[in-house]
Structure 1
C-alpha cells in the first residue's frame, strides 16, 4: 500500500493566530510536526498543505515538501482532499499541524488497522488517549470520544462524554487525537458532502463521517505530547520538549 502523510497548515487559527509559526525551542511548531512525521519512516511522502506563503516558505526553504491550496477550505480534510485528488495513493494520513510531537509507534498502530481481512472494511481510523485530569476532561478544547465494544466511534464532543450520572461506576474518558487515516475514496466522499449539523455545532470535522453512517476505527495509544491550541499549550509544549 502506498501511504502518504499530509499536514494541513492554516495560518490564521481562530483561537491562537499564527500558532504554527510560533517558536518551540529552535524552530517553529509546524517544522517540528513535519520533521517528526518524516522521521517516523512510515510514509512514501510527507507533504504540508497550506494557505500561507509564510508556512510554505518555512517548509520548502528547509528542504521539505509543501503545496499551496488552490481555494479556501472549511477543514483540514477538505484541504488534503484537494491535494490528493490526482495522486496514486492507498492510505492518506492527516497529521494535524499543531501536533508537534509526532511519534512512529502510534502511527504504525493506526496504519495496521487497514491490514488483513478485517482491515478491508475500515474506511477511516483515528487515535485517542485516556484522559484522567478533570481539568482536561471538562475543557472544551479537548475533544472527547465515546466508542463501542469494538472501538468504533459512537460520538465525538467537546462536552463531557459519557456523562457520569452514576457516580459510583468508574468511567474511562478518551481524548481524540487529531491524527486520521483514510482510504483515498473515503476522503474524497467526505469533501463532496456538505457540512453536517453536528459537525457545524461542535466544530469537529469527523462528525461528518458519523452523520453519514461511517464510524471511525479508534486506536488507543500512549500520550503523544501536546496539541497546541492556546498560548498556555505552547508553554506546556516547551516544557515537554
Structure 2
C-alpha cells in the first residue's frame, strides 16, 4: 500500500499572507516543514502541493518534489484531493505547511498507524495544558468517543460547563491521513458543508458526510503559525534547541 506525504501551501492566507516563504532563522517555513517530513519519510514520498508559482519555484530550487494545483481549492484538503488526481497512492498524509517545529515522530506515528486503521480517516490530537489555548479561537478543540472516534471539533472552548471553569480539553494536531476514496468524496459537495463553513474547520466536512474519523494522540510539540505573532513561539523553540 503506497502512502505519500503532502504539504499544502498557498500564498494568499488572509491571516498571514505569504507565510510559507517567511524566513525563519535562515530557512523558509515550507523548507522547515519539508525537512521535518524527511526525517522519517523517504524523499520520493514527500511533496508540496501549491497554487503559487512563487512557492513552486522556491521548492524546486531546494530540490523538493512539488505539484502545482489550481487556485480554486477551498481548503488544504481540497488541494490534496486535486493533487491525488496527479500522484497515485492509496493514502495521503496531510502535514500542514505552517508547522515549522512539528514533531517528525508524530508524522511517523500516523504513517505507521495506517496499516492498523486501513480505510479510515486519521487525525491527531493532544491534551491542552493551558486555559489560554482552551479559549483560543485559533486552535480547534476536539471531543471524541471512548473509542477515539471524533464526535465534534470546534473553535469554541469545548467541552464546557456551567461554572465556565477549564477542567480538561484537547486540541487538534494537524496531521491527517486520508484514503483516496474519501478525498474523492470530499470534493463532491457543492462548496463547504454547513458546520465546516461556520467553524472554518475542514475536517468537519468528512464528519458531515458521514465518515468516522479516528483520533490518535500525538505530542504537544505542534505550534501552528496562524498569525505573525505566532512566530515568536517558534523562534523561542528553535533558539532553545
Which 4+ stretches in 1 moved above 6 angstroms? none
Q: Please tell me whether residue 219 in structure 1 is matched to residue 216 in structure 2.
A: yes
Give the conservation status (yes or no) of the 8 Å contact 2:47–2:67: yes
2:169 to 169, 173, 181: 173
Structure 1 length-normalised TM: 0.92
CA distance in 2, matches of 1:200, 1:186: 19
Output aligned runs, 1:153-232, within 5 Å: 153-165=150-162, 171-194=167-190, 195-232=192-229
- The gaps in structure 2 that reach 5 residues or longer are none
Q: Report the equivalent of 2:102.
A: 102
In the alignment, is residue 114 of structure 1 matched against residue 114 of structure 2? yes
**Structure 1 alignment gaps of length 5 or more:** none
> 1:159–1:43: structure 2 CA closer, same or farther, 3 Å change rule?
farther
CA contact (8 A) 1:127 1:176 kept: yes
**Matches of 1:225 and 1:80, distance apart in 2:** 21
C-alpha offsets along residues 208-233 of structure 1, whole Å, 9 cap, x if unaligned? 01111112101111122311011111
1: CA distance between counterparts of 2:87 and 2:57?
23
Q: TM-score, normalised by structure 2?
A: 0.92
Once the two structures are superposed, what CA deviation does each residue of 1:155-176 show, in whole Å capped at 9, x if it has no partner? 01000111133678x8431110
| Post-superposition offset of 1:240 | 0.8
Residues in 2 aligned to 1:207 and 1:127: alpha-carbon distance in whole angstroms:
14
Matched, 1:146 2:143: yes
CA RMSD of aligned residues (A): 1.8
Following the alignment from structure 1 to structure 2, what is the Cα–Cα distance between the partners of residues 38 and 75? 24
Is 1:41–1:104's contact at 8 Å kept on the other side of the alignment? no
Matched residues in 2 for 1:59 and 1:150: separation? 40
